[in-house]
Structure 1
């Protein structure tokens, strides 16, 4: 069966309908809905507080090799380079600037999700401590210039690095200096996908505000609470943003496929190497007219690769990815999937969440996307602020999690993972604002205190 699936994946695509069916194949009945969580973090040398290079005695390669040796992970190779690890449906991968990412397995409960995160962090810290390396959970590298960030040896990143400056001013900062937490969730059918896509896309700025945690750049405040979120507004207008067509009549699998087809390509992967196809058209590829691969037609693997190079606030594959949150501390990693599961996996909660935002105009969406990175929960909106909306969202999510009734060994349900967010909403102060207050007062302008006080 595996060989048959691989062969099918490598067969040339002959029609757009196959691309639509690819997304439709993600449909699952409610009892099979799962939770996938991904988080990135910055690795830094404890003595210099600088990013960890790929090679050397104290390096990213050394971390990956130690995890493989000590905890049974299998290496993922690109040529002679180890670029990731895999085990039990999980993978550890590298972002362009050496940010280490865990892409978790698809799990049934948030209790399992948070246990997975905890195991990963304990293992990673166990091997890194011996190397004099530690990790920081924030949304933007707080003390390193773009040109000083070490580059990872992945072919796709070289192509992206050359192409990014052609489309925006901050794309290289996105690649090399940002970190995020995201969660991946299922849908039952096309109508359910559309409801969840519209609701989560509209509410993404509210979640960005709750998770705002990137107020520093190059050792000092940068004027934003979520600078990571701001960076996406000047990365690449072709592949980022709020996707107005999602809110229009006729939204469905085909509408999203048409959108993906119209986004310029980055690369094609052939014979273990990345072929530069930057700026070229996947529609041409379907017709065998791609100049990077003359006469060839794409496979489903090419389609998957291309879909992965789109970066909207919510991304559709065979599941929906929530992409609006800054990286953060251990408990915040678990809070993001908790918030979205509570909102989207309970029918009453999904309806209540949509009621909050269904009357918003495209101008409202653009306003929130533009202003929230600066002022987060304090952003004025309607008759109140984003904080008011965040509190409503948390209450809706908590009720959704309560109705799910998934208990841990001590009888607690999944609402426990929202505690850190309720604390933020109650105080009205984001993680970023707490850090800024410390910077100006307790730390007396010394950014190095961030690394000692807030590392994992």
Structure 2
């Protein structure tokens, strides 16, 4: 999630609703300036007893962050507490229960992305080796209850933790017990954004199935392959979902703005602190009628903050965020941006991907999204086939798109090799979660502690 550092007091006030499309318009870039921003989260645990370390304990999350100074990272503080580290490779920040996130820098190609990820993991593993910490790559804590998890000292998290139970049953699980991999991608124009948004939403269930790795809750199988994905269906209906309006004729920036104006607020950031505005209306804020800051009107910084508080399967800010994948091990971190870059950054591939899904009805899209958390690649798609049958076609399109990009490393390899982990999933016909369940019921003999060596970085 976003890490705010300053209260942009000089940021321009919003005088007219027409200003609200400015972040989206400002995100338009010519093709040669398109970049790849990859984010990945991981669970931190103590290797002696597998507990999740608190922020304050010796060798805990605060100390882990500060240890990154050895590698050139600089602390970011909120109310005197270190909540993130900034560096050339982006930002290392905290999720609500101490999950560690790398929000990577915008990079030109996937070779750079994988090098960035590798540097980060080598750094945290070196720190972990000294302090007895391990890092688990999954979509959900396999064995922790909510009560066993710490809370990190970020103001927005306190507001969200208080608000979540009012609007859904699983929002606290989303905050405390899940991890994801995401990729942020650019667009050239409003029309390009709309086509990429539609393909991203329609195929997000496939990404969920290919990366599904959250089949356990509190030490036992939970009946799902991606319980993380299921959690989003009961988190907050006002700010999640498949966004049917994206597929309507005429969809563009203004329609997304109207959607965001209907998403209830979480907070207002003033003087370095988060003010609880949970459930209040940004429309009232525009009129100067927000009860927690009476008489004030929002700035563009407030609007950018608000854009970060919706959690649909694909999110629009000044770029598009692909949000459907569970967290996973090292090799799958690079596979997610490869999947989406291959599909969305080559026009021939983008058109081919859209042709596969453009005739699906909204009911069919919703049905697929709802089926995938439990059924994974076995979920039915329109036409009587399984999602697995579509997966190979989509990977072929993504591979062709990466080949057409022609971005080579120093050995002369293009970017298609980063799709290999997904090719392996399709060849086996089983999501990663199904493969973990086979181990659990087989050679692990129900001993879930064995997941730590299996899924740690």
User: In which range does the TM-score fall when normalised by the shorter chain?
Assistant: over 0.9
Q: How far, CA to CA, are the matches of 2:158 and 2:250 in structure 1?
A: 37
Secondary structure at the aligned position of 2:108 is classed as coil
Mapping of residues 296-311 of structure 1, within 5 Å: 296-311=296-311
Residue 454 of structure 1: CA displacement? Answer: 2.0
Paired residue for 1:246? Answer: 246
Q: Does 1:134 align with 2:134?
A: yes
Deviation at 1:7, TM superposition (A): 6.9
How far does residue 40 in structure 1 lie from its aligned partner after superposition? 0.3
- The residue aligned with 1:387 is 388
What residue in structure 2 maps to residue 398 of structure 1? 399
Match of 1:3 in 2: none
Question: Which residue of 2 is the match for residue 102 of structure 1?
Answer: 102
Match of residue 445 from structure 1: 446
Q: Does 2:224 correspond to 1:224?
A: yes
- Tell me the CA shift for residue 380 of structure 1: 2.0
Judge conservation of contact 2:75–2:82 (CA < 8 Å) in 1.
yes
Q: Secondary structure at the match of 2:131?
A: coil
Shift of 1:89: 5.5
Report matched runs for 1:330-349 at 5 Å: 330-349=330-349
What residue in structure 1 maps to residue 26 of structure 2?
Answer: 25
2:411 maps to 410
Match of 1:37 in 2: 38
Secondary structure in 2 aligned to 1:323?
Answer: strand
1:58, distance to aligned residue in structure 2 (A): 2.1
* Number of the residue aligned with 2:368: 368
Residue 180 (structure 2) pairs with residue 176 (structure 1):
no
Q: In 2, Cα distance between the equivalents of 1:39 and 1:15?
A: 36
Q: Report whether the alignment pairs 1:159 with 2:164.
A: no
1:168-217 alpha-carbon deviations (Å, 9 max, x no partner): 00000000000000000000000000000011111100111111111011
Counterparts of 2:90 and 2:178 in 1: how far apart (Å)?
A: 22
* Deviation for aligned residue 1:358: 0.2
Q: Supply the distance in 1 between the matched residues of 2:60 and 2:73 (Cα, whole angstroms).
A: 17
Give the match's secondary structure for 1:442.
Answer: coil
Deviation at 1:93, TM superposition (A): 0.5
Give yes or no for contact 1:9–1:301 (8 Å, CA) kept in 2: no
In 2, Cα distance between equivalents of 1:208 and 1:9: 41
* CA distance in 2: counterparts of 1:210 and 1:445, whole angstroms: 24
Deviation at 1:292, TM superposition (A): 0.9
Check 1:9–1:183 CA distance in 2 against 1; reply closer, same or farther (3 A cut). farther
The Cα shift of 1:379 comes to 1.0
Q: Is the 8 A contact 1:9 1:300 kept in 2?
A: no
- Partner residue in 2 for 1:425: 426
Shift of 1:263: 0.4
Contact 1:207–1:390 (Cα < 8 Å) also in 2 = no
Tell me the residue number matched to 1:259.
259
Deviation at 1:383, TM superposition (A): 2.1
**CA displacement 1:277-320 (0-9 Å, x = unmatched):** 00000011011000011000111111111110100000000000
SS in 1 for 2:120: helix
| Alignment of structure 1 residues 85-124 onto 2, 5 Å | 85-88=85-88, 90-124=90-124
**What are structure 1's unaligned runs of at least 5 residues?**
1-5
Say whether the 8 Å CA contact 1:25–1:318 is kept in structure 2. yes
Secondary structure (helix, strand or coil) at the match of 2:233 reads helix
Partner of residue 377, structure 1? 377
Q: Distance in 2 between matches of 1:350 and 1:373?
A: 25
C-alpha separation between the residues in 2 aligned to 1:88 and 1:301? 23
| Distance of 1:9 and 1:383 partners within structure 2 | 57
Task: Return the alpha-carbon distance in structure 1 between the equivalents of residues 48 and 367 of structure 2.
Answer: 42
Q: State the Cα deviation string for residues 87-118 of structure 1 (Å, max 9, x = none).
A: 12600010001100000000000000000000
Q: Which residue number in structure 1 is paired with residue 3 of structure 2?
A: none
- What is the TM-score normalised by the length of structure 1? 0.97
Q: TM-score, normalised on structure 2?
A: 0.97
Question: Structure 1 pair 140/161, CA: closer, same or farther in 2 (3 Å)?
Answer: same
In 2, Cα distance between the equivalents of 1:328 and 1:7?
36
> Deviation of residue 437 (structure 1)?
0.6
Q: Aligned-pair distance for 1:8?
A: 8.9
- Measure how far apart 1:222 and its partner are: 0.5
- Paired with 1:177 and 1:322, the residues of 2 have a C-alpha distance of 20
Give deviations 1:57-76, integer Å, cap 9, x for gaps: 120001001112x1110101
Q: 1:93 to 1:7 in 2, by over 3 A?
A: closer
- Kept in 1, the 8 Å contact 2:89–2:116? The answer is no
Tell me, yes or no, if structure 1 residue 278 matches structure 2 residue 278: yes
Unaligned runs of 5+ in 2: 1-6
The question of 1:435 aligning with 2:442 is answered no
- For 1:308 and 1:58, the matched residues in 2 are separated by 31
Residue pair 1:39, 1:333 contacting (<8 A) in 2 also: yes
The aligned length equals 450
Query: Quick check: 122-131 or 233-242, which moved more?
Result: 122-131
Q: Deviations over 1:30-56 (max 9, x none)?
A: 000000000000001111112121112
Distance 1:7 1:145, change over 3 A: closer
- Answer with 314-323 or 142-151: which moved more: 142-151
